[in-house]
Amino acid sequence: MIDFKITRDPQTGEEIWAVPLRGPLLLNHPLFNKGTAFPEQERRELGLLGLLPPHVDTLEIQVERAYEAFRSKPTDLERHIYLRALQDENEVLFYRLIQDYIEETMPVVYTPTVGEACQLFSHIYRHPRGLFVAYPEREHIDELLANTPQRHVDVIVVTDGERILGLGDQGAGGMGIPIGKLALYTLCGGIHPARTLPVLLDVGTDNPDLLNDPLYMGWRHPRVRGAEYDAFVERFVQAVMRRYPNLLLQWEDFAQAHAGPLLERYRDRLCTFNDDIQGTAAVATGTVLAAVEAVGTRLRDQVVAVFGAGSAGCGIAEQLCAAMVGEGLSETEARSRFFLIDRTGLLREGFSGLPPFQRAFVQPSSALASWRLDRPDHIGLADVVSHAKPTILIGVSGVAGAFTETIVKTMADLTPRPIILPLSNPTSRCEALPAQILAWTEGRALVATGSPFADVVWSGRRFPVSQCNNSYVFPGLGLGILAVGARRVTQGMFMAAARALADTSPAPTLPDAPLLPPLTASRSVSHCIALAVAKEAIAAGVAAPASDTEVERLVHERMWTPAYARLTGC
């Protein structure tokens, strides 16, 4: 465990870090290492003379050298491996590189490339990062936490690897997701990288390919479930609360059977949220609000079809429903406008065994009485589009190609400006390609996707396609929470984040503009969301009172920028 003291030069305001390392040990610490950018005075004071080439580089020159190496890699997976290695060698350079070239690097650091990296995690593993909490070590979780290099942690992203993106059970390979998410916390939200910790709860895997892979690095055992699983997670949460009482804990890529129950169990015990349920809902709501404004209608007048009625789909529907209620509808009126389709078809009256989060969106038989159906026992997406006439279609199913030409054209025949969001990722699981949607709707659809896509050119017009990715919301959410020391994460914070995101959209004022700002604006978007979330936390009574000016200062002070500090010995 390595502590360092931060002060500021009273004359210039420059940060000064007093670090306890010298020589090769200093060069091997990714947060302290400047590589060839160590100035001569620091080389002499910190025992680095002769260990580096004599020329002193600027950070800008290092970035160009690293970018050249990044571009030379033949595949996105190789680029991902290179960036991860750079992160483990020199974090300032890593974050400055991905900040300067965010449009090229972010899809490599995170979706869609991170999915392939998780699948091949045991084959491309290079350097330890994060904390693996394996079930056989359940009696020693406090000791495991004590072994981490960070004494102070602000954010943990934790997964058990069971539902990685749309790829299913990746076991220990799921660690790639918390590592990637926390990189985005720093890149977009300015959360200091030294105060983040990725965690993998290794409860085994039911993926036979992993269990039979001689290189698999996780616990080779079928997944622990039931009471044993719950007790293990409880041990982890208690240990985290003891060590980091002011922590923000983000649940990530847990299977449906665990995602909702874990959120309900812990949301009132510590500052925590589930990004797949709540973060996805917030970014989708912000995108829809921007699209509705661009079309010139009101949210309360929309009809919404959600294909994929898991925790993410129902979370989106709940957030949009709450926004409709905020525009004056009763809850019953709002819920009547949502049609959620699961594997067994439309959620409707007569279905048994539905979990509570799905039961809230069951359509009564009376609402479907006039529908002429070929198979009344299974009401699919095509039936819903034909009869319910949705103006908004959202996909979170992981079923590639589910938004067929017939379905999209039918929707376009029934509404002049359909809003279509195929949000499943990685790219191979997308419900429809943006180029297809725009061609089938003759350029009338407003489209955003879960994975990144290039601009679409149709009939001489260029349509930028926004990636409706959680990275627009969770970094700013976390920044706002930490800035004011919020004790809990409330639903109001997600609504505040969604509205702040919608306010940054260029679509309402510019024809053919994307629904969301470009990735290059990610830090400014996170700043806007952080301010809205921090003010909502104060209004909700889960943070200490502060003026708007004070909130601005707190948020600004929390945003770390990738730049080298002056180093001294201690």
Tell me the two tokens of residue 369. 């009485």
Tell me the two tokens of residue 553. 């200062």
Does the annotation count 110 as an active-site position? Answer: yes
Given the residues 73, 82, 101, 181, the one annotated as active site: 181
Instruction: Give me the count of residues in the chain.
Output: 570
In 316-471 the beta strands, taken as DSSP E runs, fall at 338-342, 345-346, 392-395, 419-422, 446-449, 456-458, 461-463, 466-467
Strands 446-449 and 456-458: what pairing?
unpaired
**Cα Dmax for the chain:** 83
| Rounded distance between C-alpha atoms, residue 411 and residue 427, angstroms | 23
| Rounded distance between C-alpha atoms, residue 268 and residue 247, angstroms | 14
Lookup result for tokens 């990725």: 198
Using only C-alpha atoms, the chain has a radius of gyration, in whole angstroms, of: 24
Tell me the two tokens of residue 482. 């930490």
The residues pairing with 134 across neighbouring beta strands, listed in sequence order, are 202
Strands 338-342 and 271-274: what pairing?
unpaired
Element (DSSP H or E) covering residue 5: strand 5-8
| Rounded distance between C-alpha atoms, residue 121 and residue 218, angstroms | 10
Q: Which residues are CB-contacts of 104 (< 8 A; sequence separation ≥ 6)?
A: 70
| Rounded distance between C-alpha atoms, residue 80 and residue 108, angstroms | 5
The helix/strand/coil state of 22 is: coil
Nearest to 230 by CA among 273, 269, 194, 261: 261
**Residue 350 DSSP one-character state:** T
Does the annotation count 181 as an active-site position? Answer: yes
Phi, psi angles (nearest 5°) of residue 502: -60, -35
Helices (H), 485-547: 491-503, 522-539
Nearest to 240 by CA among 178, 374, 150: 150
Given the residues 95, 110, 229, 564, the one annotated as active site: 110
Nearest to 85 by CA among 143, 127, 51, 45: 127
Phi, psi angles (nearest 5°) of residue 404: -75, 170
Would you please indicate which residues are annotated as catalytic (active-site) residues? 110, 181
